[in-house]
Amino acid sequence: MKKFLRNLFLFLCLVIFLSCRNPFSPPSKKGIYYLPSDSPEQVIENLRLAYNLRDIEAYKKCLHKDSFKFYFDYSDEEIGEILESRWGIDSMIWGWSEEVLSTEVLFSNVEWINLFLLKEYSFYVDSEHWVGIYWYDLDIEPSPVSGVVEGRARFTLKKENSNWFIIKWEDFVISGGY
């Protein structure tokens, strides 16, 4: 009888424990998936996750607020025309505010994003600066562009108070439309 009651008690504890977690509901995106920003590679992984989860708060944490710059591909003449005609932007470089605003608009207007990053190579410039070259595929549904955008990105990260932040993102589109 004691064995039966003990097993029943353990069974009930197990049922109660498992009922607190819904296996069909993914965990909240607020911090649970993200790695500490104590290495450049982890910041890049957090950037990829933030894009795929459309999590603007996590995305902002990857970028250095005071010195971040995004550089569009100067060889892509079409992007300059699109930036000017669609959004009134006449610069091929923008800072943290423009990047966050445009990404927030993107995240809120699409149902699904898949950003795939593959590191080609990386190196430390010194103990506080790192450069990584990545191949990327960006697939968005519904797509504001025609097809999957493929390219290369050069990320420059800076270490500040033991955390790494992206200070420069240079984009080189290989294929895909606008």
Structure-token match 């500040």, residue found:
160
Give CA–CA dist 26/18, Å, rounded: 15
Task: Kindly give the pairing relationship between strand 69-71 and strand 163-175.
Answer: parallel
Q: What 3-state class would DSSP assign to 49?
A: helix
Do the beta carbons of residue 40 and residue 130 sit within 8 Å? yes
Q: Which of 12-21, 29-38, 160-169 has the lowest mean pLDDT?
A: 12-21
The larger pLDDT score, comparing residue 58 to residue 24, is at 58
Q: Are 142 and 111 in contact (CB under 8 A)?
A: yes
- Residues 158-168 pLDDT 10s: 999 999 999 99
Query: Which of the two residues, 74 and 140, has the higher pLDDT score?
Result: 140
Question: Looking at residue 63, what DSSP letter applies?
Answer: B
For the chain, which domains are there? 44-175 (3.10.450.50)
When mean pLDDT is compared across 30-44, 76-90, 157-171, the lowest value belongs to 76-90
Burial 119-135 (b: 16+ CB within 10 A, else e): eeebeeeeeebbbbebe
Compare 19 and 170 and report the one with higher pLDDT: 170
- For residue 142, whether the previous peptide bond is cis, meaning omega lies within 30 degrees of 0, is yes
172 contact partners, CB below 8 Å, separation of at least 6: 73, 75, 151, 152, 153, 154
Given pLDDT bands bounded at 50, 70 and 90, which one contains residue 74?
Answer: confident
**What pLDDT is recorded for position 144?**
66
> What's the whole-model pTM score?
0.77
Q: What percent of the chain is predicted at pLDDT more than 90?
A: 54
